[in-house]
Amino acid sequence: MYTIEGEVINKIEITKSLFITYIKHVETVQEAKEYLEMLRIKHPDATHHVSGYIIGKTGENGHYSDDGEPSGTAGMPIFDVLRKNELTNIVIDVVRYFGGIKLGAGGLVRAYSKSASEAIKLKGIVPIIEYTTFEVSFDYSLLKLIERNLSNYEILERKFSDNVTLICKVPSIEFLTLSSIIKNTTSNLAKIKVLQDSLLSNQDE
């Protein structure tokens, strides 16, 4: 799956109608709804706010709205653009100001698809990587060895008490291999506990 970083705004004019496309990275359905509501306040006089969002690791939460445009000519086309680009954690709103010339069903589909596609191309998409956050606890004598094993990964926190505890984040696809290496090189003396799985774009790293 992919996403975009931050926000992109793009304007195009088609047969005297103005289409302003807003696309933003979001993490929750609530965040998407709040963003769409903010845009309605920002453009209270717009003819239509055609919107959609896809949220979740596999894009399991999705929704779109035609907002008064003929069914199937607006919301679905922009939603299809998101799906075809394998995007998730993203919200889109195409704000239309009617220019006085009707586009017809086919024209509307093309206009909204173009609006969404051009905005995505303008910003570009980035892969999403699933990360696992875990802690590893061990005796002080193993510190240098453990740190060598973790040299290519991010250590989020170090705790020193009766023993050492490191909180680390690694790509989930590499977690099992890394945990096996740590256990084998320490003769299973290091204790590993998974804390969290999360989705992040690769640009966050």
Report the predicted TM-score, pTM, of the whole model to 2 decimal places: 0.77
Q: What is the pLDDT of residue 101?
A: 97
Instruction: With beta carbons less than 8 A apart as the criterion, state whether 40 and 47 touch.
Output: no
Q: What is the pLDDT of residue 186?
A: 95
Residue 55: C-alpha distances to residues 27, 34, 62, 169, 200 (Å) = 7, 14, 6, 23, 13
Give the tokens for residue 24: 């933003």
Q: What domains can be seen in the chain, in order of their start residue?
A: 2-124 (3.30.230.30), 129-204 (3.30.70.240)
Q: What is the pLDDT of residue 124?
A: 84
Give the tokens for residue 92: 């889109």
β-pairing, 17-25 vs 7-14, is antiparallel
Per-residue pLDDT reduced to its tens digit, 118-137: 999 998 899 988 889 999 99
Percentage of the chain beyond pLDDT 90 is 89
Q: What is the pLDDT of residue 2?
A: 94
Per-residue pLDDT reduced to its tens digit, 143-176: 999 999 999 999 999 999 999 999 999 999 999 9
